[in-house]
Amino acid sequence: MAFTLEERLQLGIHGLLPPCILSQDVQVLRVLRNYEMRKDDLDRYIFLMALQDRNEKLFYKVLTSDIERFMPIVYTPTVGLACQQYGLAFRRPRGLFIAIHDRGHIATLLKSWPETDIRAIVVTDGERILGLGDLGSYGMGIPVGKLALYTACVGVNPQQCLPVMLDVGTNNEELLKDPLYIGLKHKRIRGQAYDDLVEEFMEAVTERYGQSCLIQFEDFGNTNAFRLLNKYRNKYCTFNDDIQGTAAVAVAGLLAALRITKNKLSDHKFLFQGAGEAALGIAELIVLAMEKEGIKRQQALSRIWMVDSKGLIVQGRANLTEQKLQFAHPHSEVRNLADVVQDVKPTAIIGASAIGGAFTEQIIKDMASFNKHPIIFALSNPTSKAECTAEQCYRLTEGQAIFASGSPFNPVTMPCGKVLHPGQGNNAYIFPGVGLGVIACGMRHIHDEIFLIAAEVLAEQVLEEHLAEGRLYPPLNTIQTVSRILAVKIAEYAFKNGMASVYPEPEDKQALINSFIYNTNYDDFVIDSYTWPEEASKIQTVKI
């Protein structure tokens, strides 16, 4: 409907459309009107995904028109519900599905994808989708949603993005019995066959798209996530968002919180509820940040305590993984989180366990009794898995707590009339900007220092007025600006430290980043040779 009369004549579609001509802005208005008529968030998700399928430019025009409004629909928390209902919501395949039985043929499968210039891939095996567990092929909603944010938040060209599902089966009995399930209906295959599939995938991607193709691992189970990250981080251009992206956004929140507590990171004592990918990733980056402050690694490790499903992680406890063992300290075994809080008296508690309500009223009150400004991060997704709500945290600490969450919470009005805006520690503040910075300068490997830089840059974007409102992150409506600043800083660091492969080094890194930004407006093109109808003889350009 945006084609002009002259364009319709040139394309031979005059009469096939209603005579009215609607600009893209009016089309956005029509989408918004339809969106408002949807009955619930899942219906809104399905509506937006259908728009993405039929008109990608308009889809991103809508998303970027009010990203704060639409991000909770295309990403957390609604994407979690969409994954659970993926068989019901499935309309049209999006992305590449690679099954365990495709071993030996992955290179051929990649050739089935119509685009040859792929710069960013998000891949999952669906074993640990958010805090929802094993969703198998239903987890494809996560790579699709993540890559939508690559474009909406920072402007990576969607044609250069590829979502991938590695389907090795599922251990979810409900899905195995679900007639609508779209994946392999057998138990998860592990061991050498699994490793061979991932190895072949990594090699095939690099062979087809180049060493600088970014491969982002997403929502793998704990054991595979750490193992695959350690195996491939120095061999391919890859990172794990659940481990490293979550770490960066959490540390950014902590760095911003230091402007309220008026001290250093190494002055704090951290207690984690959970010791999985997210918690261990955050802890490792906190240690790196403390070392940057000037303290030794062992001293930094002593400031971090962890509670997993078996209680406090202490020295002498059996069957601790290598990642957990470094955070094991001399202490008697304690099972209950509330008792651990009483014993350790942390200045900050960080929830990454997907146990809804784990931060009880007593725990929150105890935190307030130990600290003038207790740091309380309830980072688990989706909202139902949050360790506490923003309102619980603020009211039980009389507004003194420094709060952040993984899912969005509404502003809280305190009895005194002050309105507090809880900060959402959303990975979308990190991975799109890191991704574009990596892509733009052609990085071959991504070190942890990149994520510490990302955390520092994000924290710098938090203004004093934001802190006064209770925010530890910039407002979501500024995420495009924040992400592009982050991308520029990543590019500058890469070139300065010999990590970039683009040659010659561009003098203006901002211009380099801008050259990759996707334009959501309808494109123009010029036809060099065409027999023009008389009515369109003076036309030079056509919108598509």
Give the three-state DSSP class for 412: strand
- 177 near 152, Cβ under 8 Å? no
Q: What count of other Cβ atoms lies within 10 Å of the Cβ of residue 150?
A: 28
DSSP state of 189: P
- The answer to whether 538 is a known catalytic residue is no
Q: Please tell me the number of Cα atoms within 13 Å of 21 on its side-chain side.
A: 9
- The answer to whether 75 is a known catalytic residue is yes
CA distance 235 to 49: 35
Q: Token digits for 266?
A: 């190494």
- 300 near 287, Cβ under 8 Å? yes
Catalytic residue from among 60, 86, 138, 146: 146
CA distance 206 to 358: 42
CA distance 239 to 219: 12
CA distance 302 to 472: 25
Q: Which of 255, 257, 248, 240 is nearest to 282 (CA)?
A: 248
Helix axes 56-65, 24-36, angle to 10 degrees: 70
CA distance 493 to 473: 23
Q: What share of the chain is helix, strand, coil (3-state, %, to 5)?
A: 50, 10, 40
Residues 6 or more apart whose CB falls under 8 angstroms from that of 172 comprise 133, 134, 135, 136
Q: In what order do the strands lie in the sheet with 238-240?
A: 96-99, 161-167, 120-124, 214-217, 238-240
Residues 6 or more apart whose CB falls under 8 angstroms from that of 512 comprise 440, 441, 491, 502, 506
Catalytic residue from among 45, 60, 75, 138: 75
DSSP state of 42: H
DSSP string for residues in 96-148: EEEEGGGTT-HHHHHHHSS-S---EEEEE-SSS-TTS---GGGGGHHHHHHHH
- 25 near 520, Cβ under 8 Å? no
- The residues carrying an active-site annotation are 75, 146
